[in-house]
Amino acid sequence: MVDFNKPIPKTDFPFGLIIVSNPSMDPFVELNDEFDCDSAYYHWAEEDGMAVPGSSPIIVARKTVKEMLRKAEDLLPEGYHLRIYDAYRPVAIQQFFWDYYRAKLGEKNPDLNDEELDKLTRTCVSMASYNILRPAVHSTGGAVDLTVVGPDGKVLEMGTGFDEFNDATWTYAFEPDSGTGFVNDEVRDNRRLLYNVMTAAGFTNLPSEWWHFDYGDGMWAQLKNENAIYAGRLDAEIRDMVPYKNMELVRAADHKQQEFISKMADIITSCEEIGCQVIAKLQ
């Protein structure tokens, strides 16, 4: 039984960069066939409903993540369900948002040097990575952005909109001991509901975003003190995807790196088999 009203703990932002040393082959699967999906970047509100290049109405994630989302939704009170805004994100979208938010933050903070501006930007969006062993979390299929819809069909009040970036979007912001000055019992309880069902299902939460949860990626690895298990995909070739610049170049690079991942998995399996054979002979 999940305690829906359990307080959200204060958590430091996980700034470290994780290298994936033993990638899982967990496949990508669609979420639209089972969940309420509203692909946020296929009709991006910030730019009058434009489709961000590389976006799609189809949302995909890892198979295990889908199973965990099913568990989280089952834990919600009767009549409530999840609404998913985003999960896997091709590197074209990741690069677009990194450039977009870095420019906006640079305008607001002209005194920051490049290193300081990069660090501030990372609280909003991961830096795009073209190395699938050091991926941005949304490029792994392990990160998911979502909220909760109530029995009346309306999304619950969470205090800010999705993809707002300010002090109020930190998940902990409305807790009584947060020191932020934000007070709203409805928002506090709604955030606790989302946080507690998602963490009960095995996800971790990105502290700066009440809507963002992770499994198997670099954020999850740091917060759980585990090894990251999901490598990235530069482009998973999702159907109905909006074309972007250099699509063929990115896909070629992705295919080449995926070949390496497959070979690496075979090598790891062979090493494990040899190790087992040695142990058997020694016993």
Residue 125 falls inside a structural domain: yes
Q: What does the pLDDT read at residue 102?
A: 95
Q: Note the pLDDT tens digit of each residue in 208-267.
A: 999 999 999 999 999 999 999 999 999 999 999 999 999 999 999 999 999 999 888 888
**Is 48 contained in some domain?**
yes
Q: Is residue 16 part of a domain?
A: no
155 found inside a domain: yes
Kindly state whether residue 4 falls inside one of the protein's structural domains: no
Q: Output the CA torsion sign for 50, 52, 54, 57.
A: negative
Task: Say yes or no to pLDDT of 113 above 90.
Answer: yes
pLDDT one-digit tens code per residue, 151-164:
999 999 999 999 88
Task: Determine the pLDDT at residue 32.
Answer: 98
pLDDT, mean of residues 116-132: 92
| pLDDT above 80: residue 47 | no
> Is 226 within the bounds of a domain?
yes
Domains contained in the chain, number: 1
* Residue-number span of the structural domain to which 72 is assigned: 28-282
Give me the residue label for tokens 């947060």. 178
In a domain, 1, yes or no: no
Tell me the pLDDT tens digit for each residue of 208-219.
Answer: 999 999 999 999
Give residue 218's pLDDT.
Answer: 95
Closest-CA residue to 230 (of 142, 170, 160):
142
pLDDT digits (tens, 9 = 90+) for 168-188: 999 999 999 998 989 999 999
Query: What is the chain's mean pLDDT, rounded?
Result: 94
Q: What is the CATH number of the domain that holds 267?
A: 3.30.1380.10
pLDDT confidence bin for 50, thresholds 50/70/90: confident
What distances in angstroms separate CA 146 from CA 38, 64, 197, 237, one per listed residue? 9, 17, 12, 22
List, in sequence order, every residue forming a beta bridge with 86; answer none if it has no partner: 145
> Does the residue 247 lie in any domain?
yes
Please provide residue 237's backbone torsions phi and psi, each rounded to the nearest 5 degrees: 55, 55
Q: What's the pLDDT at 283?
A: 75
